[in-house]
Amino acid sequence: MNILNIAWKGIKTEFRDIKTLIFLLAFPILLMLVLGTALSNTFTTSLPVDDLHVLYKDTTQEGSFQQFIKAAEKSGMHFKKVTDQVDGKKEVKRSTFDGYVEVTENGVQLYVNDDNSIKGSILQGMVSGYVDKYNIASEIMKTAPDKLNAAFTAGEQRDFIKETSLNPNKQPGSMDYYAIVITTMIVLYGALPASSLIVSERVRRTADRLIAAPVRKSEIFIGKVLGSLVSNGLCVILVILFSKLLFKANWGDHLGLVFLVLLTEVVFAISLGIGISFLTKSSAAPQVIIMIMVQLSSFFGGAYFKIDNPEGIFKLITELSPLTWMNEAITKIIYANDFAAVIPAISINLIGSFLLLLVAIISLQRREGL
């Protein structure tokens, strides 16, 4: 009963602290909004391109280029035949048209506008494809002229290579990504208030009263840890609900498993705060140490920007961040239904929590008070 009373008192204290609530609730939601909106372009996998407008001059008699035009116009390319009064090169230089093609008996010449390299590359690739096909047709004409028309006629297409991806349309957008990484980051910040669970009693000089009361030190310790675990867990649930309802973030179809992974991180964060508070002598030192550790973990764990395929020493550093394992596990659960990724994340959190709590328990037993 003493444990529950101490835990309930800790929960009420944390939720009455307006600064803590703002930091654990308002701060992550605001950060999701800012980063998810500002960096949305970095998660865009496609680039829209306007229709291409091309001038052309065809002095050949085969008519093959006309067939190319008909096929290309289906892809958003618009061709206009140049007149004698118009200089195609100058029109391209003035950006009136995206390109100018001259087709003669001697070959094909292409002029593109350098102001838009993407359109120029697209046009160059399509014209190169036409030239290759024209060269093939020339060889066919030497041996079998009656087959020339077939070379420029759309026939049956066969897909010799078929590319398949798992869940091709399920890719995290900017808001989806930052909903995950900001949530895991703010959970790790829970180590800050946890570091003062016991220290605050010493600072307020209430530790002696607790020791004098008919309550064992183990009950005080368990009650404070349990209260912090419940209050931090409730904050995580609220952050997930806010991000899901307000920002339409994708948390997948296995929200219970995702929360289980986050709950183990809550345990690790609380253990980290308590463990460091017992390892240091100064009351201010734990928060400084935790702040540095959380900032480094957030930076290398991808909380502020997405880290793709790190290599060498940088990869080793990112893997030292607990947030890397957390973010990877949750992402795989949501977008790949990969439940095996849960095991490393939960194992690291629970093993780390056990070691840190063990340090705190041994230190507490050696102390006369709290």
Q: Specify the number of domains making up the chain.
A: 2
Q: Using CA atoms of 304, 305, 307, 308 in order, give the dihedral in degrees to the nearest 10.
A: 150
Tell whether 28 is covered by a domain.
Answer: yes
Q: Using CA atoms of 85, 89, 91, 65 in order, give the dihedral in degrees to the nearest 10.
A: 80
The answer to whether 126 and 76 have CB atoms below 8 angstroms apart is no
d(CA 116, CA 97): 11
- Other beta carbons less than 10 A from residue 364's beta carbon: 17
State the pTM of this model: 0.66
Token pair for residue 288?
A: 């400084």
- Other beta carbons less than 10 A from residue 230's beta carbon: 16
d(CA 220, CA 198): 9
d(CA 66, CA 56): 10
Q: Are residues 63 and 91 in the same domain?
A: yes
Q: Are residues 34 and 107 in the same domain?
A: no
- Structural domain span for residue 238: 2-43+173-366
Q: Are residues 253 and 360 in the same domain?
A: yes
Tell whether 164 is covered by a domain.
Answer: no
Mean per-residue pLDDT for 219-242? 88
Tell whether 342 is covered by a domain.
Answer: yes
pLDDT tens digits along 93-143: 777 777 888 877 777 778 777 766 677 777 777 777 777 776 766 666 667
Number of residues that make up the chain? 370
Q: Are residues 112 and 29 in the same domain?
A: no
Tell whether 165 is covered by a domain.
Answer: no
Q: Are residues 38 and 66 in the same domain?
A: no
- Which domain-ending residue is among 151, 182, 204? 151
Tell whether 281 is covered by a domain.
Answer: yes
Q: Are residues 350 and 247 in the same domain?
A: yes
pLDDT tens digits along 290-317: 999 999 999 998 888 888 778 888 888 8
d(CA 353, CA 355): 6
Q: Are residues 146 and 99 in the same domain?
A: yes
d(CA 199, CA 224): 12
pLDDT tens digits along 316-367: 888 888 899 899 999 999 988 888 888 989 999 999 999 999 988 888 787 7
Question: Would you give the distance in Å from CA 106 to the centre of its chain?
Answer: 52
